[in-house]
Structure 1
């Protein structure tokens, strides 16, 4: 692919445009803010305020603040000009919103590939950028050189909601980690312990711990039935005792633990449901 139209020139959109241009792709920019596109125009990009005014390209990549805005842009464009084009939507959206965008794309005769960005804007265009895609394999294959310019491109299959499900689930883990990390840092501060040293150690220790968690969830929940075998190690009872111990330690020095308290409450619900001898992954039952 040599040419692509990018709708959206905000922080993430600008990073995508920069990466595409660095990758040798001719970029047409569509955004209501001409000033945001000016630095790219000076480098050779074309600018237009709307899709209907933009030069014709086979592929349109959308990166906008939310689904409502992204769908409005698509709905306001001349459907005849969109027919037969490829649509890559990188806008953060829920699985149901992705389905709605897919419906709009199909109504306009477009091939739709949903994309989700799993990194911050500053990493776009580097080997730290990681994007997951689902939907049209034809679009993925045809636009692969452009996708590779943006970052590592992983195709999850033709189920259009695949990338969105993974994105939302990963973000939940991400934000949960931020919240519990804040609790842990507060604990270190209370003891006047080096936060830098703690962070250095957690980067070594957590991957080891999480590897076991990933394996357990993958093995016991991939074909979920709601029933779990007794565990030989890491039973819910043992994990609950450990969780209570660490929370008692934090509370003793006055650290508030809203996230940790919620985890303990979830574990206790699992115990009350009769899963004390199951692997800790059995708490999934309390959430479904």
Structure 2
């Protein structure tokens, strides 16, 4: 085993980007993928092609795994379990917190250190300034391999709870999906009439969203403070203002022939808040609602 060698198992678009970034920074890299042809370009650049997943595991002290799902991770690594002892397994496969905990337990039973990770980048931006990766698990393991992990993107260590990286990863991806749902609705509305265009509305949408995103830390601080102490929330807005604006958005979508599915859901939730006797909106309502706690 070479202390300076990293093994990458799984050479989809993301796995190839991870291996490529490490090669660019001068790391010794061993790669393995079921479809061996996916390793060809990396081998031409100096990577070592492993004949099996077990050979890849034995080749380095740090083993990065980036596969479709956790079931695939276990199917690939089970035959190589005996080679994991004294190595560090960093699982960058998308999954749930519960799956991360189970995988960490399994790795520990075979003598391996374990980190779970969530990649907040697309393959094209791996190693770019804006790329970052979330990690959770034993801090000493993170510290030991930080120099290699920094190559992939800015590493953010979340804590010893090994499920945190998966939890935050899914939370961020969910927010992104919903943002793009809103983007597509906005574009559909903009191009429906009056000479509007996707480029035209996006030109104004991006700075607007950037401005609104700057408010999020204040909302987050309020939510945490409210949950911890029960203090009254400060950032509020009247539900009547929300209702008036939402009714206008619904009317515009219907007139344009654009689906109102997302807005209908928001309208139903607003009706629920109003029925509970609330007059003002505040971010802690979100926490109480999700946890099925009373809205009053």
TM over 0.5: yes
Aligned counterpart in structure 2 of residue 285 of structure 1, from 277, 283, 288: 288
Within the candidate set 117, 128, 131, 1:129 is matched to: 131
- Tell me what 1:211 maps to: 214
Q: Which residue of 1 aligns with 2:294?
A: none
More strand by share: 2
| 2:55 aligned counterpart, secondary structure | coil
Distance change (3 Å), C-alpha of 1:68 and 1:230: closer
Query: Does 2:64 match 1:61?
Result: yes
Calculate the TM-score normalised by the size of structure 2.
0.90
Deviation at 1:34?
A: 1.3
Whole-angstrom distance in 2 between the partners of 1:40 and 1:98? 29
**1:258 match:** 261
Displacement of 1:71 in angstroms is 1.7
Deviation at 1:10, TM superposition (A): 0.9
CA positional deviation for 1:230:
6.2
Residue of structure 1 in register with 2:54 after alignment: 52
Match of 1:173 among 175, 181, 196: 175
Matched, 1:242 2:216: no
Is 1:194 the counterpart of 2:179? The answer is: no
Post-superposition offset of 1:254:
1.6
Distance 1:258 1:18, change over 3 A: same
Distance 1:227 1:178 in 2: 34
Partner-residue secondary structure (3-state), 1:109: coil
Structure 1 length normalisation: TM-score?
0.92
- 1:110-149 Cα distance to aligned partner (Å, 9 max, x none): 1111111112111112112111111122222222221111
Deviations 1:21-80 (A, max 9, x none): 00111100121111100111111111123232335311111000111001222222142x
- Using the alignment, how far apart are the partners of 2:121 and 2:272 within structure 1? 34
CA distance in 2, matches of 1:207, 1:285: 27
1:116-155 equivalences in 2 (<5 Å)? 116-155=118-157
1:267 aligns with 2:283: no
The CA deviation string for residues 144-165 of structure 1, in whole angstroms up to 9 with x for no partner, is: 2211111111111111111111
Q: Which residue of 83, 92, 113 maps to 1:90?
A: 92
Structure 1 runs not aligned, ≥5 long? none
Deviation at 1:166, TM superposition (A): 0.7
Whether the 8 Å contact between 1:29 and 1:46 is mirrored in structure 2 is yes
Mapped partners of 1:64, 1:278: distance in 2 = 42
Partner residue, 1:2 = 4
Measured in 2, the distance between the counterparts of 1:149 and 1:102 equals 23
Deviation of 1:227 after TM superposition, in Å, equals 6.4
1:213 Cα deviation after fit: 4.1
Instruction: Show structure 2 runs of 5+ residues with no match.
Output: 292-296
C-alpha RMSD of matched pairs (Å): 2.1
Aligned length: 287
For residue 240 of structure 1, report the CA deviation from its aligned partner.
Answer: 3.2
* 2:226–2:284 CA contact under 8 A, matched in 1: no
Deviation at 1:108, TM superposition (A): 0.7
* Residue in 2 that maps onto 1:157: 159
Do the aligned partners of residues 78 and 216 (structure 1) sit closer, same or farther apart at CA in structure 2, a change above 3 Å counting?
closer
SS at match of 2:280: coil
